[in-house]
Amino acid sequence: MKKIAPSLLSSNFSNLEKDIKMLEEGGADLLHIDVMDGHFVPNITIGPVVVEAIKEVASIPLDVHLMISDPDYYVDAFIDAGADYLTIHAEATPHVHRIVQKIKARGVKAGVSLNPHTPISVLGNILQDIDLVLIMSVNPGFGGQSFIPHSLEKIKQLKKMLIDNNAEHVEIEVDGGIKLENIKIVSDAGCDIFVSGSGIFKAENPKEMIAEMKLAIR
């Protein structure tokens, strides 16, 4: 089933609970949480204590996207905080395989994310170990950027790679610049999980926007 994962990066941080309830009522499937360290990306957002607070009020799974250097030091903290999906960046560590094993051993879904310039070939020897690939369709760090058109080709190539390698259990997630206007074309390329921050929160009616997005990818 295709899933909508609203990004809390565009929410009202002074009243997260209100926005989380609104997203859940609107039919969101996952809550996408962007963790940034001011080192791997030029922005700083939230840490495990905030994820823990979100977990207390959320009733849908937490999709935690680590945009941090040396993620091996922090995966346990984010799992303890309540991550249901935990995604690291391939560019952030030389030890993707080891960290993926660590995440899986704790019973959490493991994802690997690729920046726009990183080819899908880096996933060749890890496909059987992961649950998710997150294709960045903007450069990570900020909400509200435009979808990089070349990402569509990358999603199609990844879909083919999963089929060719008998790894269709791996979900394809796309993050950055997803709006109602382009969600169908991203879906047709092979995306399973759609992250959208400004596309949902800047809509006149965010709840209706989630419903419209779900209709478009059905």
Q: Which region among 16-24, 46-54, 64-72, 80-88 touches Zn ion (by CB under 5 A)?
A: 64-72
Q: Measured from the CB of residue 89, what is the shortest distance to Zn ion in angstroms?
A: 10
Strands of the sheet containing 31-36, edge to edge, are 3-6, 193-196, 171-175, 132-136, 109-114, 85-89, 62-67, 31-36
Q: Does residue 72 have an active-site annotation?
A: no
The residue ranges that bind ligand DX5 (CB under 6 A) are: 7, 9-10, 32, 34, 65, 138, 140-141, 143-145, 175-178, 195-199
How many of the other CB atoms lie within 10 Å of CB of 124?
10
Q: Does residue 34 have an active-site annotation?
A: yes
CB 57 within 8 A of CB 87: no
Q: Residue 205: CB partners within 8 Å, gap ≥ 6?
A: none
Out of 19, 29, 34, 131, the active site residue is 34
Which one, 15 or 101, has the nearer CB to ligand DX5? 15
Among Zn ion, ligand DX5, none, the one that 159 touches (CB under a kind-dependent 5 to 8 A) is none
The β-bridge partners of 193 are: 3, 173
Question: Residue from 19, 24, 29, 34 that binds Zn ion (CB under 5 A)?
Answer: 34
Helical H segments across 14-165, by residue range: 16-26, 48-57, 75-81, 96-105, 151-164
Q: Which region among 48-56, 73-81, 91-99, 175-183 touches Zn ion (by CB under 5 A)?
A: 175-183
Picking from 170, 110, 168, 118, the residue whose alpha carbon sits closest to that of residue 148 is 118
Q: Which residue is nearest to Zn ion (CB)?
A: 65
Among ligand DX5, Zn ion, none, the one that 69 touches (CB under a kind-dependent 5 to 8 A) is none
Q: Give me the active site residues, please.
A: 34, 175
